[in-house]
C-alpha cells in the first residue's frame, strides 16, 4: 500500500477535527456504528466474491473502489430494470437498502489492486 | 453499460469513512487475538474456502486443513476438459496459497472423529485436537446399485464423478475410440452432486465426438424421467447434436442401467436388454463422504444441518457443508459449498474470535456449457428457514436466447471459476 501511512495520518487529523466538533461519546458511538456497518458489509461481500474478484477486467467486473453513491446507483440499475443480467438482478433484488449501503461502504474501503 | 467513475483509495469518504477505517484497524487487531483450534476435513469447494476465510479473519487461530490429495482437480470445468475447452492443468490447483496464509495443510486421510474428546485421527497416525470441526468431504459412491460396478470396474468404465485420474481415463478412452463408436452414459439417481453435470457432460462429449469422431453416438440411459435445465439442454442438443445424443427416459429401459460387465464392455438395462459400448461412463448413486458417517453426523446417506449456520444437528461443535450436507432445495454444487463455507466461517469466527455473527445468506449459480460459447445458467438465493434452507428467489436462462447473450453467460462462468478457485485456495 504505497502512501498508506500518509493516508492514515490524514484520516487521523480528519478524525481529530471531528472530535473537536462533536462530543467524545458521539464519536465513539458513530465509530462503533460505522465499524459495524463496514463489518456487516464485509460479511455480505462474501456473497459477491464468489463471482467478483479484484484485478478482473472482463465479463464480471471488479467492484472495489467505487464511491459509495456510484456503487449504490450501479446496484439500482439491476433493481430498476435498467440492466437485466439475471444473476445480478437476483443478487441486487435480494438485498435491502441498508445492506447495499453496508456493501458500498465496505467495497469503497478496499483499495483496488489496479491492473 | 453506463460507466461510473472509479475512485481511488486516497479520496476520503468523509467523517464516517474516516471513523470506519480507524476503528477497523482496532477491530482487526481484536480478531487476531482469536484463540482456538479449527480443524477442517476436505480441501475442496467447502473446506478450502472455510480454511481461507477463518485464517484470514483471525490469524491467531490455529487452522488445520486435512486433505487426502496433494493437489485438487475440480469437478467444475472437468466437463469442459472432456470437450477440449479447458486443459487438465487449468483445473488442477495446489494448496500453496493456503499454506502461505498460515493454514496448516496436512496431506493425509482422516479416519476417525472422537466427538467426546474432540479429536480427529489420521491414517498416518497423527491425532488432532479441535475446538470446532468442519467436515466438507464431498461424496462417496454407493456401490451395489448397479450390479457388477465397483471401484475396479470404474477403471474400465469410469464414473469421472470425482475429478482427477478418473477424468483422464474417460478423456483417453474417448480419444482412443474409433469413429462411429457408441458411448453410453448412465447418470445417477437423485440426489447427487451437480444436477446439471451429467447433461453438461453429454453436451461436451458430443461436441468432442462431432469434431473428432464422425458417426459416433452418445446414448444416455437415465434412471430419472426429468433432469435439470432439461428444456435448455434439449434445445441445444436438437440444434447441435441431433444425430449424436439420444436421451432415453427410464420408462423405455426399465429404469436405466442395472448391470454392467466391465470386461465385456456391456451394460444391461432393467428391461434385460444388453448393449455393447465403446466407452461407458457409469455414474453411480452417491452419499456423503465416509468421515461424516464415522463422526456420527449422518442420518442415512447425508447429514442434517441447522439452516442458520450448517452446524450438525447431531453432533456438537461440528459443521457439515457442501455435498455431504442435506441442504434440501440448495443443490449440491461447488458454488453452494463455497456459499455455505462463508456462513460457517462467520459462525466459527464469532465463536472463537469475538466477531459478530450475521444472519445466514446463501446463493447458488450453476453455469453449463452446451456448445462453444453457448452457456446457460440457473441460480437462486436462499435463506435459513426454521428447519431448512429456503428459496428466496430463483432464475434460469431461457430457450431461444441470442448467441451474444449465451456467449456472455459462458464468459461469466470463466470469471466465476477464477474468482471461486482463488477463494478456495487463497490465490490471486
Ligand atoms: C462433472 C461435474 C461437474 C460439476 N460442475 C460444477 C459446476 O460447474 N459448478 C459448481 O458449482 N459445481 C459443479 N460440480 C459440483 C462440485 O464439484 C461439488 O458440488 C463440490 O466440489 C462440492 O464441494 P465439497 O467441498 O462438498 O467437496 P469436494 O470439492 O469434492 O471436496 C472434498 C475434498 O475432501 C477430500 N476428502 C474426503 N474425505 C476425506 C478424508 N476423510 N480425509 C481427508 N480428505 C478427505 C477429498 O479428497 C476432496 O478433495 C460439478 C461436479 C461434477 C462431478
Q: Within 6 Å (CB) of ligand 1, which residues are found?
A: B 41-47, 66-69, 72, 75-76, 78-79, 109-110, 136-138, 161, 193-194, 197, 201, 289, 291, 322-324, 332-335, 337, 366-367
Helix axes B334-353, B45-57, angle to 10 degrees: 30
What CATH number is attached to the domain comprising B259? 3.50.50.60
Lowest mean pLDDT among B5-19, B208-222, B292-306: B5-19
Tens digit of each residue's pLDDT (9 = 90 or more) over B261-299: 999 999 999 999 999 999 999 999 999 999 999 999 999
Mutation for B interface: A7, A43, A103, most B CBs within 10 A: A43
pLDDT tens per residue, range B316-346? 999 999 999 999 999 999 999 999 999 999 9
What local confidence, expressed as pLDDT, does residue B9 receive? 33
Domain count, chain A: 1
Same domain membership, residue B274 and residue B196:
yes
Distance CA B379, CA B234 (A): 19
For residues A56 and A63, the answer to whether their CB atoms sit within 8 Å is: no
Distance A98 CA to ligand 1 centre (A): 35
Domain CATH number, residue A70: 1.10.760.10
Judgement on whether residues B295 and B418 belong to the same structural domain of the protein: yes
Do the Cβ atoms of B18 and A15 come within 8 Å?
Answer: yes
State residue A29's pLDDT score. Answer: 64
Q: How far is B237 from chain A (nearest CA, A)?
A: 23
Q: Which domain holds residue B159?
A: 146-282
Same domain assignment for residues B24 and B102 = yes
B290 and B420 inside one domain: yes
**Domain co-membership, B316 together with B276:** no
Only one residue has cell 464414473, namely: B159
Query: Is A90–B19 a contact, with Cβ atoms under 8 angstroms apart?
Result: no
Query: B299 with B228, same domain?
Result: no
Which residue of B lies nearest to A108 if distances are taken between CA atoms?
B9
Closest residue in A to B405 (Cα) is A85
User: Which neighbouring-strand residues pair with B395?
Assistant: B379
Average pLDDT score over residue span B210-237:
98
pLDDT digits over B58-90, tens only? 999 999 999 999 999 999 999 999 999 999 999
What's the confidence (pLDDT) of residue A30?
63
Residues of B in contact with A74 (CB under 8 A): 4
Does position B21 have pLDDT exceeding 60, yes or no? no
A44 touches chain B (CB under 8 A): yes
Verify that B296 and B354 share a domain, yes or no. yes
Q: Does B252 lie in the same domain as B158?
A: yes
Q: How far apart are CA B101 and CA B103, in angstroms?
A: 6
Contact list in B for residue A70 (CB cut-off 8 A) is 4-7
For residue B261, the CA-to-ligand 1 centroid distance in Å is 28
Return the sign of the alpha-carbon dihedral for residues B7, B8, B14, B20: positive
Domain count, chain B: 2
Q: Which of B282, B297, B325 is the last residue of a domain?
A: B282
Residues B55, B349: contact at Cβ < 8 Å?
no
Instruction: State the pLDDT at residue B11.
Output: 35
Q: Supply the range of the domain harboring residue A9.
A: 4-109
Q: How many CB pairs under 8 A join A and B?
A: 164
Say whether both B179 and B230 belong to one domain: yes
pLDDT tier for residue B221 given thresholds of 50, 70 and 90: very high
CA of B339 from ligand 1 middle (Å) equals 14
Amino acid at each position: 500500500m504505497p502512501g498508506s501511512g500518509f493516508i492514515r495520518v490524514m484520516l487521523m487529523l480528519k478524525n481529530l477535527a471531528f472530535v473537536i466538533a462533536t462530543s467524545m461519546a458521539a464519536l465513539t458511538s458513530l465509530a462503533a456504528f460505522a465499524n459495524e456497518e463496514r463489518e456487516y458489509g464485509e460479511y455480505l461481500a462474501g456473497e459477491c466474491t464468489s463471482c467478483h474478484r479484484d484485478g478482473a477486467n472482463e465479463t464480471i467486473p471488479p467492484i472495489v473502489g467505487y464511491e459509495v453513491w456510484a456503487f449504490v446507483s450501479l446496484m439500482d440499475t439491476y433493481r430498476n430494470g435498467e440492466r437485466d443480467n439475471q444473476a445480478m438482478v437476483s443478487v441486487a433484488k435480494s438485498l435491502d437498502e441498508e445492506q447495499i449501503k453496508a456493501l458500498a461502504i465496505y467495497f469503497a474501503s478496499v483499495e483496488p489492486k489496479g491492473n | 453499460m453506463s460507466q461510473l467513475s472509479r475512485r481511488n483509495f486516497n479520496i476520503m469518504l468523509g467523517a464516517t469513512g474516516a471513523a470506519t477505517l480507524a476503528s477497523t484497524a482496532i477491530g482487526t487487531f481484536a480478531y487476531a487475538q482469536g484463540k482456538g483450534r479449527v480443524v477442517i476435513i476436505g480441501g475442496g469447494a467447502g473446506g478450502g474456502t472455510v480454511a481461507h476465510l477463518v485464517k484470514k479473519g483471525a490469524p491467531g487461530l490455529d487452522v488445520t486443513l486435512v486433505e487426502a490429495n496433494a493437489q485438487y482437480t475440480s469437478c467444475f470445468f472437468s466437463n469442459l476438459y472432456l470437450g477440449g475447452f479447458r486443459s487438465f492443468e487449468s483445473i488442477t490447483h495446489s494448496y500453496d496459497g493456503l499454506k502461505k496464509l498460515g493454514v496448516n495443510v496436512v496431506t493425509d486421510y482422516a479416519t476417525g472423529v472422537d466427538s467426546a474428546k474432540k479429536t480427529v485421527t489420521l491414517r498416518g497416525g497423527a491425532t488432532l485436537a479441535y475446538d470446532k470441526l468442519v467436515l466438507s468431504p464431498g461424496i462417496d459412491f454407493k456401490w451395489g446399485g448397479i450390479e457388477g460396478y465397483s471401484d475396479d470396474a470404474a477403471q474400465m468404465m469410469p464414473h469421472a464423478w470425482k475429478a482427477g485420474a478418473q477424468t483422464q481415463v474417460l478423456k483417453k478412452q474417448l480419444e482412443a475410440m474409433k469413429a462411429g463408436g457408441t458411448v453410453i452414459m448412465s447418470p445417477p439417481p437423485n440426489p447427487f452432486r451437480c444436477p446439471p453435470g451429467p447433461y453438461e457432460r453429454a453436451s461436451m462429449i458430443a461436441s468432442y465426438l462431432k469434431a473428432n469422431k464422425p458417426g459416433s453416438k452418445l446414448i444416455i440411459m437415465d434412471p430419472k424421467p426429468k433432469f435439470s435445465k432439461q428444456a435448455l439442454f434439449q434445445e441445444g442438443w436438437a440444434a447441435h447434436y441431433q444425430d449424436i445424443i439420444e436421451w432415453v427416459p427410464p420408462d423405455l429401459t426399465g429404469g436405466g442401467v442395472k448391470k454392467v460387465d466391465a470386461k465385456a464392455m456391456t451394460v444391461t438395462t432393467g428391461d434385460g436388454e444388453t448393449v455393447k459400448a465403446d466407452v461407458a461412463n457409469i455414474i453411480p448413486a452417491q452419499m456423503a463422504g465416509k468421515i461424516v458417517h464415522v463422526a456420527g453426523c449422518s442420518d442415512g446417506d447425508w447429514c442434517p444441518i441447522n439452516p442458520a449456520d450448517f452446524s450438525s444437528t447431531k453432533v456438537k461443535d461440528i459443521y457439515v457443508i457442501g455435498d455431504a450436507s442435506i441442504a434440501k432445495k440448495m443443490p449440491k454444487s461447488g458454488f453452494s459449498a463455497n456459499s455455505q463455507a462463508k456462513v460457517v466461517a462467520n459462525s466459527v469466527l464469532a465463536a472463537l474470535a469475538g466477531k459478530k455473527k450475521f444472519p445466514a445468506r446463501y446463493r447458488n449459480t450453476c453455469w453449463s456449457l452446451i456448445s462453444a460459447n453457448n452457456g446457460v445458467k440457473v441460480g437462486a438465493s436462499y435463506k435459513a428457514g426454521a428447519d431448512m434452507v429456503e428459496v428466496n428467489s430463483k432464475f434460469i436462462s431461457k430457450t431461444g436466447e441470442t448467441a451474444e447473450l449465451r456467449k456472455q453467460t459462458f464468459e461469466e462462468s470463466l470469471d466465476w471459476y477464477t474468482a471461486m478457485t482463488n477463494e478456495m485456495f487463497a490465490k490471486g
